[in-house]
Structure 1
Amino acid sequence: MSVVPESRPVVTAQWLLENLVVCMLFFNKLEQTIESSSSFLAAGVRVNLLNNGSEPAALEALKAHFSDNPRVTILDAGSNRGVSGGRNLQITGTTAPWLLFVDNDITVETENWVDSLVEALNRSPLADIFVPRLFNKHEDAWGWLSDFVVDGYGNCAFIRTDAPFANAFPGGASVVSRRVFERVGLYDEDLFVGFEDFELAIRAWKKGRPLLVRAVEDVVLIHDHRVSLVAADKSAALVRYNFGHIRKSHTVIKEKHGVLLDPNFADWLKEQVHQLTGERTHDVEETAQSDGNHALHGFTVAPHFCGDGLVRVIVDGRGADLWMRLRAIRIACDSAREAQLKVLVSLVDAPVDMAREALRLGLADHACSFEEWRSTEARASVEGADMYLCVGPALLTSGFIVKAFQHNRFDVRVAGSILHPERVIRASSNGLGEQLVRSDVFDPSALESSLRCFPAFAMPSSIWGDFVRSDLLSWVPGHTEAMTCWIDRSCRDGVIHRGVPGSAAIIKICE
């Protein structure tokens, strides 16, 4: 199991200006390259521009424009080395611990973006990669952070996540720690263009530690596929969105990792070329169209990193749908174990026969009555665990343990909070129900925050110890009541309660 590295020292704006370099590949699009570079230079950072096969006249014009700026370094790759080869030259040709890779048609919109990035680095000092918000001007839409998900057949898909942490990143709009390349290796230059960042994420997963990618919501980048008026710029677009290059990237990833990407990309390529050239092209190979059967099947894996740690799950064994609840918890526990966590499940107050069967099936590690748990297990469990998860009569979504643990371990601001599912859904068999959304910090003592109690929540060991040492366990009649009383007391004591983005608990209404 991987060990969580030591926290990095506190970052200041001055430190970041000295230890960050903006890396940009220059393949024609002279005007936008100058605009992009200038937008970042305004903050006082250094910019590394690598000429990656541009027209000679464009290169000379770029050098002339920045000739008096000592913070701009312009290097020449000698030929078009592709995205992977070009970025590798920038990685090996620089020494800064942080590299901000941006495409040369991206500008930064946020004026104080360095300060915002400093805050993000200090808030999540163990994250590998930071991804700003990206507005695609040509699509009039925001991009989003995505997880890659792989099924047992190797089929892969990218799934949007609202959580602040992910396992994949956009290579042309991210701040990357040099430690990523030291740990995983450089980009694979067999991928000339397309999915080189994804292949790196696959490699990180296969080496035992998936990438820890953090969203930076308060830094905004603008991506503009501006229509090219110069022949060289149109030619560059045709190279960037060349069917053969993308197909080769698919093939390399399949042969190297056994991972299959969606082959239906011909229409997407045509649209990218149209946006950049203003022309409709029909020379993209129609063989890119497949039968449309690429889809995920059965169980899937969305690899995440949590690092070594122990989570104790306490399940209320009373109430309806215990088997369904235990199976949902089992799936969440499996995801947590894949993220390198140890998880132990205690089943409290379940009927004896069901408790025995749950132990036999591996759905629980320990079963006891509430009285036994109150007198021994609760107090014994204070030692050694990093997080405690209390689950009442509700179905828990599969990613809650991982997301809550990532919050608690990798977000300094969130550490020490009690964490709840972002959504609590009460559903009935006739399709009626209600939903409560708990976004970020919320007050659980407010009537509108209740939806009748708290079906699941997680807390770090420090808060759990306070609960176990309190007098609540001496008089409450059961597990759920004890937890609810503790939630109420924690509010009076000033403990912060937060919703975990992208998670939910479903309460079935018995009719």
Structure 2
Amino acid sequence: MVAYGPQPDLNEAVRSALASTGVAIQVVIVDNGAEPAAIEAVRTLDGVTVLSAGDNLGFGAGCNLGVQSTDAEVVVLLNCDAAVRPDTIRALVDAVSDPQVGIATASLRLADDPEVINSVGNPVHYLGLAWAGGYGEPADRHTEAGPVSSASGACCALTRAWWDELGGFDASYFAYHEDVELSIRTWQRGRTVVYVPGAVATHHYEFSRNPGKLYLLERNRLMTLLTTYSGRTLGLLAPALLGQEVGLLAMSASQGWLGKKLAGYGWLLRHRRQLLDRHRQLQAERSRPDREVMQRFTATLDPANVPVPGAITAVNALSTTYRKLVNLWL
């Protein structure tokens, strides 16, 4: 668990994890600059270890630090504003015991209405956008386990062996989209990402659209595309990616965060050598080609937790046709 800021729900989250049945639990809290009172309220609980990061390392690096501090056989990532039911972690552990499964993601529910979905795993568009799957839908519509594009970092699990094989999160992301990147790498390396309906967690979820978050979301989306896709795929997708960027630039200008969007381009340009090295590494490690991995992605944009443009139907039709053409060449 990575803690930053006020964290009014940390106590509930920690105690829910400690109350888990059927598993031995060690809760590791990485203090990334959380309110001291929130940390002190749980520091002395049996089974809790608090690590001081000394600074805000970001979500990804904070998770990496926490995992390195334990020799547990299974790693569960849990947000500080999410509470698990007693049998949730056991269900996640059972799911990742299948050697074909890389990551298991929970049935995240809205804390204010636990019969309503927050996320059943996150759909990923082949141009990199991702969102909360099933958001706002009744939980009883999502009772079947199965593969999903991406796990939600708010509550998911993987074996320590698989975490180590993947190298954990890429700390360059700082926050947002690192769960998508980890999931894509899992698919690329021959394993699956699965949704576990019996692993229920309630989440005090609130989607914000502040410029700082939008900067990271956009920068990290492009970083994921540039490093996980092959050079051939990037070339085939270039016209669609360019069209999407023009649209996003126009949207960012109209909404007042154009400067942040441009700053993301600047970061990617300054770190181009790092991105190239990362691209080479990930392409060398993969065992599934893009043609197979992209079958797990969607060509339509239909997020329920954010507003979409009025022309989305036409955009989705064009996007679907374009992906079919790309698939012919992959």
Greater RCO between the two (CA within 8 Å, min separation 6)?
2
Return the structure number with greater helix share.
2
**Residue among 223, 237, 245 paired with 2:216:** 245
Q: Report the CA distance shift for 1:189/1:41 in structure 2 as closer, same or farther (over 3 A).
A: same
Match of 1:445 in 2: none
Identity across matched positions, percent: 21
Select which of 41, 60, 79 maps to 1:84. 60
Q: Specify the structure having the higher radius of gyration (Cα).
A: 1
- What is the correspondence of 1:107-256 to structure 2 with a 5 Å cutoff? 107-108=83-84, 110-117=85-92, 119-121=94-96, 124-137=98-111, 140-146=116-122, 148=124, 150=126, 155-156=127-128, 164-206=146-188, 209-225=189-205, 242-256=213-227
Alignment of 1:89-108 (within 5 A): 89-108=65-84
The Cα shift of 1:62 comes to 3.6
Deviations for 1:67-111, whole angstroms, at most 9, x for unmatched residues?
432300000111111111111111222221211101111111x33
**What code does the residue aligned with 1:129 have?**
I
Give the match for residue 277 of structure 2.
none
Letter in 2 for 1:222: T
Q: 1:115 to 1:240 in 2, by over 3 A?
A: farther
Cα distance per residue 1:327-359 (max 9 Å; x no partner): xxxxxxx99x948xxxxxxxxxxxxxxxxxxxx
Greater fraction strand: 1
Q: Is the 8 A contact 2:149 2:183 kept in 1?
A: yes
Aligned residues between the structures: 242
Map residues 334-353 of structure 1 onto 2, 5 A cutoff: 338=292
The residue number in structure 2 matching 1:29 is 6
Cα distance, 1:201 vs structure 2: 2.8
Alpha carbons 1:45, 1:71 under 8 Å: kept = yes
- The aligned amino acid for 1:135 is R
> Could you tell me how far 1:129 is from its partner in structure 2?
1.5
Structure 1: stretches of 5+ with no match in the other structure: 1-23, 228-236, 270-281, 290-306, 309-333, 340-397, 400-511
SS in 1 for 2:5: coil
Residues 98-155 of structure 1 show CA distances to partners (whole Å, capped at 9, x for unaligned) of 11101111111x3333444455456x453221111011346954422345453xxxx2
**SS of corresponding position for 2:104:** strand
Per-residue CA shift, 1:473-501, capped at 9, x if unaligned?
xxxxxxxxxxxxxxxxxxxxxxxxxxxxx
Distance in structure 2 (CA, Å) of the matches to 1:85 and 1:239: 22
Closer, same or farther: CA 63–167 of 1 in aligned 2, 3 Å: closer
Residue among 34, 39, 50 paired with 1:74: 50
Specify whether residues 35 and 29 from structure 1 end up closer, same or farther in structure 2 by C-alpha distance, changes over 3 A only: farther
TM-score in terms of structure 2 length = 0.60
**Alpha-carbon distance, 1:191 to partner:** 0.8
CA 1:211–1:288 in 2, change beyond 3 Å: closer, same or farther? farther
Question: C-alpha distance in 1, partners of 2:260/2:191?
Answer: 30
**Root-mean-square deviation (Å):** 4.1
Q: Hey, what does 1:285 align to over in structure 2?
A: 257
Residues 37 and 138 (structure 1 numbering): CA distance in 2 closer, same or farther, change over 3 Å?
same
Structure 1 residue 52: Cα displacement: 0.8
Q: Contact 2:111–2:205 at 8 Å: present in 1 too? A: yes
Q: Which amino acid aligns with 2:150?
A: A
CA distance in 2 between counterparts of 1:204 and 1:67 reads 34
